[in-house]
């Protein structure tokens, strides 16, 4: 690339040993490469059309709706079922058995027989069964307080209280969005070669995007039924500020460990984008202004980011402080010359905490869509052969790989109880992943392979006793218990961001770090931990609604407006 | 019943783990089962059979004693998953005129997916032969020659795996769904259930980190 010729300075991607620590992964922010933004960019670029052929609900919100999206080559439909859920049955837990609304994303346009079949199955979620015509299955619960507030205000002919809206940020939160073959739905492989499905989780994001429109329409419908002719229409600015909540527990954490190559591709794409921008020798006025404007809006975003969790409250305090320090520094810094972004980032690395560093890293990409957006094409995992173990590799070579990639784990004393205090297991209840205390509960026999560091250290010890010139095939014949660790080590040799380089079973583990990392790649904002292993977020807050996609300028909706309308 | 291939793989992995296979072995047993199911072959059924046969047995008892010469178990039959993973690991040893030979392999069709992955790695088709069955694969498609319907046999006294010549006739290509009978599914489920910890009130609350009311 041109900029690399213009300078002798070439800044590489950041060291995986720095990036792949849990506290940093747990500080990631959404970026241009987040899956929601990849989707909305495509929707705008390809001028996707939307329609709502069915919308039938009674005053209690019981009924169903169909939302169709017309892409250049095909149609997808969200089928939404509304239910009347007694308050005592409302739970975000995976073990819940009833929800306010249930959904499926259908491949094509459903006919009456499809709707009848899905009406028997979708409301049951895990207890139901779907077919390869369905691409996802999901459910959502109302935010009871905000829902009631918005319905009663609109019914009375007035607008909701803006501060109440900001405090929650959504009218409904999804509690699971299942894709990729779950419950009998189509496997990802069935749709992976479609352009609009190429980037990760596009089907799931589309489902949530359409769910947000359904929720807006349903709350208006119920207010209209309640208020009659005097009901007000929800203010467009308030509507746009509302996203879809998501309530996520531990089920999401193992995903990052169970899909090492995919995870590598997400992180590597973002790191590549950061390196591209840091290598720019200069910026122009428009680029600097774009950055400054979005920094200002990031400060607004942090200001309206509400959390009651003690750890998040402290993190937020630091983030707000750091973003102000960043703004102060930026106001005096030369953003135009002499590798401005690298200078800024290097300053941040020694001045700001991880949360603001990662916010800055994402912000720096914003003016450079033309340079970084194409990296979205590299975020899927298409390398099926990486799964195969190369048994011809010699023991000595694997040891060398492990010394490089698992140094932290080889230096850890795994015999100390606090280093392996936890164990991941799967409960018999709806196969819910859980985290337990290894030395206090009888769970070790059920432990899932989610401690790559500890397992790598055990493998390394076994390799020390093996002939260094022996092929791994012979080693594995007598050491089958290390097979998964050999595979991981060979993957990380090719894919340096494949592995979390931190302890995932220590007594001080914060699983919400893993959740936030994954959700930031989705494009989530406003992480609100409910405990150390349970987090609520907002998706598509401030995003355009379908009818607004064509008129929205730029691709920066994930930052709230600097000047907020309403009051 | 029609299942997604991911469902079949997830179920197979848990079942394999439930009978004591290591996690790495279980991952490959799952991929192998999925691969066979995508070819409309009896992967899930044969997996349930071999898991029942070798339930709880140590790897060393059903794996080759040595990789030199013909592969044999110390006594009894070789497990197709144990020889399959080893075959995949040793794919580079397959050279024209240098077949891998195995003696007494149970449920030999389960070796085929591993031969397929060797074929992908070698970029050459691989042939698996046992009894009257001969199957070529280039990794994706298969060519089956099985005049006597012995493909699902419970045991092959001799199995050979070798580089095959490239074929120009059309291969049978994989599909995107698999069919598993409720009975086979239940057999696998019985093994899979062993991997799940019984739920307790404490684990419901603490293990998932709940505790704050959701109803807000």
Q: Report the residue of chain A nearest B63, measured CA to CA.
A: A477
Task: Give the pLDDT band (50/70/90) at residue B215.
Answer: low
CB of A181 within 8 Å of a chain B CB? The answer is yes
User: Is the CB of residue A218 less than 8 Å from the CB of residue A514?
Assistant: no
Q: Report the residue of chain A nearest B73, measured CA to CA.
A: A477
User: Is the CB of residue A137 less than 8 Å from the CB of residue A178?
Assistant: yes
- Chain A, residues 186-215, CB within 8 A of chain B, namely 186-190
Closest by alpha carbon to A288, among A276, A302, A277?
A277
Task: Give the pLDDT band (50/70/90) at residue A469.
Answer: very high
Rounded to the nearest angstrom, the gap between the alpha carbon of residue A419 and the centroid of all alpha carbons in its chain is 28
Interchain pair A249, B24: CB under 8 A:
no
Closest by alpha carbon to B118, among B84, B166, B146, B152?
B84
Interchain pair B208, A534: CB under 8 A:
yes
Count Cβ neighbours within 10 Å for each residue of A358-385 and write b for 16 or more, e otherwise: bbbbbbbbbbbbebbbebbeebbbeeee
pLDDT tens for each residue of A544-566: 999 999 888 779 999 999 876 54
* Sequence-separated (6 or more) residues with CB below 8 Å from residue A303: A320
Task: Give the pLDDT band (50/70/90) at residue A3.
Answer: very low
Q: Residue B144, SS3?
A: strand
Q: Which residue has the tokens 């691709």?
A: A555
Q: Which residue has the tokens 């094409």?
A: A377
Residue B131 clears pLDDT 70, i.e. is over it: yes
Task: Give the pLDDT band (50/70/90) at residue A71.
Answer: very high
H-assigned helices in chain B: 5-18, 23-38, 43-53, 59-62, 80-89, 112-122, 182-192, 201-202
Mean pLDDT across chain A, nearest whole number?
A: 95
Closest by alpha carbon to A69, among A60, A79, A78?
A78
Lowest-confidence segment of A518-527, B99-108, B145-154 by average pLDDT:
B145-154
**ipTM exceeding 0.90?**
yes
pLDDT tens for each residue of A77-112: 999 999 999 988 888 888 889 999 999 999 999 999
- Chain B, residues 62-121, CB within 8 A of chain A, namely 63-64, 67, 82, 85-86, 88-92, 117, 120-121
Q: Which of A183, A428, A449 sits opposite B23 (nearest CB)?
A: A449
- Interface-testing mutation among A176, A181, A390, with chain B (most B C-beta atoms within 10 A): A181
pLDDT tens for each residue of B15-56: 999 999 999 999 999 999 999 999 999 999 999 999 999 999
User: Is the CB of residue A520 less than 8 Å from the CB of residue A286?
Assistant: no
Closest by alpha carbon to A291, among A403, A366, A218, A341?
A366
Residue B208 clears pLDDT 80, i.e. is over it: no
CB of A167 within 8 Å of a chain B CB? The answer is no
Q: Which of A185, A391, A530 sits opposite B212 (nearest CB)?
A: A530
Closest by alpha carbon to B215, among A151, A175, A142?
A142
Rounded CA gap, A51 and B59, in Å?
58
Give pLDDT, residue A7.
Answer: 47
Percent with pLDDT over 90 in chain B: 89
Rounded to the nearest angstrom, the gap between the alpha carbon of residue A306 and the centroid of all alpha carbons in its chain is 19
User: Within a 10 A sphere around the Cβ of B18, how many other Cβ atoms?
Assistant: 20
User: Is the CB of residue B92 less than 8 Å from the CB of residue A392?
Assistant: yes
User: Within a 10 A sphere around the Cβ of A67, how many other Cβ atoms?
Assistant: 25
Interchain pair A92, B203: CB under 8 A:
no
H helix count then E strand count, chain A: 23, 11
pTM to 2 decimal places: 0.96
Smallest CA–CA distance, residue B177 to chain A, in Å, is: 8
């Amino acid at each position: 690339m041109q900029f690399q010729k213009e300078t002798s300075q070439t800044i590489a991607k950041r060291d995986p040993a720095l990036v792949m620590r849990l506290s940093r992964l747990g500080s990631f922010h959404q970026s241009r490469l987040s899956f929601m933004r990849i989707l909305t960019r495509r929707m705008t670029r390809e001028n996707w059309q939307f329609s709502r052929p069915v919308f039938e609900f009674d005053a209690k919100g019981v009924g169903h709706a169909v939302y169709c999206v017309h892409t250049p080559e095909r149609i997808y439909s969200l089928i939404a079922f509304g239910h009347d859920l007694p308050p005592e049955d409302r739970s975000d837990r995976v073990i819940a058995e009833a929800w306010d609304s249930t959904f499926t994303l259908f491949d094509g346009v459903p006919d009456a027989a499809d709707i009848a079949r899905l009406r028997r199955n979708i409301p049951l979620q895990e207890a139901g069964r779907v077919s390869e015509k369905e691409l996802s299955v999901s459910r959502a619960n109302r935010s009871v307080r905000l829902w009631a507030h918005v319905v009663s205000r609109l019914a009375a002919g007035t607008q909701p209280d803006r501060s109440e809206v900001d405090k929650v940020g959504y009218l409904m939160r999804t509690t699971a969005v299942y894709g990729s073959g779950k419950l009998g739905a189509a496997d990802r492989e069935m749709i992976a070669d479609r352009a609009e499905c190429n980037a990760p989780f596009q089907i799931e994001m589309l489902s949530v995007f359409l769910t947000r429109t359904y929720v807006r329409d349903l709350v208006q419908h119920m207010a209209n039924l309640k208020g009659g002719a005097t009901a007000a229409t929800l203010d467009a600015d308030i509507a746009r500020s509302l996203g879809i909540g998501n309530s996520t527990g531990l089920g999401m954490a193992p995903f990052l460990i169970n899909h090492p190559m995919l995870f590598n591709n997400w992180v590597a794409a973002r790191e590549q984008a950061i390196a591209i921008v840091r290598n720019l020798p200069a910026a122009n006025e428009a680029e600097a202004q774009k950055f400054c404007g979005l920094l200002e809006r990031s400060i607004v975003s942090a200001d309206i980011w509400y959390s009651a969790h003690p750890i998040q409250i402290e993190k937020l305090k630091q983030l707000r402080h750091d973003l102000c320090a960043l703004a102060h520094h930026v106001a005096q810094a030369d953003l135009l010359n002499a590798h401005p972004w690298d200078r800024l980032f290097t300053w941040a690395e020694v001045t700001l905490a991880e949360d603001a560093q990662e916010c800055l890293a994402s912000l720096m990409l914003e003016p450079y869509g033309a340079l970084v957006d194409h990296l979205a094409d590299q975020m899927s995992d298409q390398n099926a052969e990486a799964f195969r173990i190369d048994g011809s590799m010699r023991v000595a070579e694997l040891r060398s790989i492990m010394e490089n990639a698992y140094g932290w784990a080889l230096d850890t004393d795994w015999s100390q109880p606090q280093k392996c205090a936890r164990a991941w297991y799967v409960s018999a209840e709806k196969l819910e992943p859980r985290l337990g205390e290894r030395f206090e509960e009888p769970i070790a026999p059920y432990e899932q392979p989610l401690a790559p560091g500890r397992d790598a250290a055990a493998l390394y010890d076994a390799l020390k006793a093996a002939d260094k010139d022996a092929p791994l095939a012979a080693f594995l014949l007598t050491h089958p218990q290390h097979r998964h660790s050999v595979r991981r080590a060979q993957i990380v040799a090719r894919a340096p961001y494949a592995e979390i380089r931190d302890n995932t079973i220590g007594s001080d583990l914060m699983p919400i770090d893993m959740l936030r990392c994954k959700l930031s790649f989705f494009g989530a904002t406003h992480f609100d931990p409910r405990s150390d292993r349970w987090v609520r977020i907002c998706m598509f807050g401030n995003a355009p609604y379908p009818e607004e996609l064509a008129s929205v300028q730029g691709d920066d909706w994930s930052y709230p407006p600097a000047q907020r309308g309403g009051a | 019943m029609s299942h997604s291939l991911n469902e079949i793989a997830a179920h197979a992995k848990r079942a394999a783990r439930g009978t004591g296979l290591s996690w790495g072995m279980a991952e490959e047993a799952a991929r192998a089962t999925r691969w066979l199911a995508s070819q409309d072959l009896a992967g899930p059924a044969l997996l349930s059979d071999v898991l029942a046969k070798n339930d709880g047995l140590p790897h060393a008892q059903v794996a080759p004693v040595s990789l030199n010469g013909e592969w044999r178990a110390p006594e009894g039959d070789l497990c197709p998953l144990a020889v399959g993973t080893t075959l995949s690991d040793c794919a580079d040893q397959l050279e024209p005129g240098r077949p891998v030979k195995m003696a007494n392999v149970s449920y030999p069709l389960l070796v085929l997916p591993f031969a397929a992955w060797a074929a992908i790695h070698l970029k050459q088709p691989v042939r698996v032969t046992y009894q009257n069955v001969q199957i070529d694969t280039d990794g994706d498609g298969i060519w089956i020659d099985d005049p006597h319907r012995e493909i699902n046999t419970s045991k092959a006294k001799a199995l050979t795996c070798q580089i095959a010549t490239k074929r120009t006739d059309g291969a049978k290509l994989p599909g995107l769904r698999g069919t598993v009978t409720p009975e086979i599914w239940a057999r696998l489920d019985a093994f899979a259930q062993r991997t799940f910890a019984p739920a307790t009130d404490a684990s419901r609350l603490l293990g998932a980190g709940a505790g704050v009311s959701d109803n807000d």
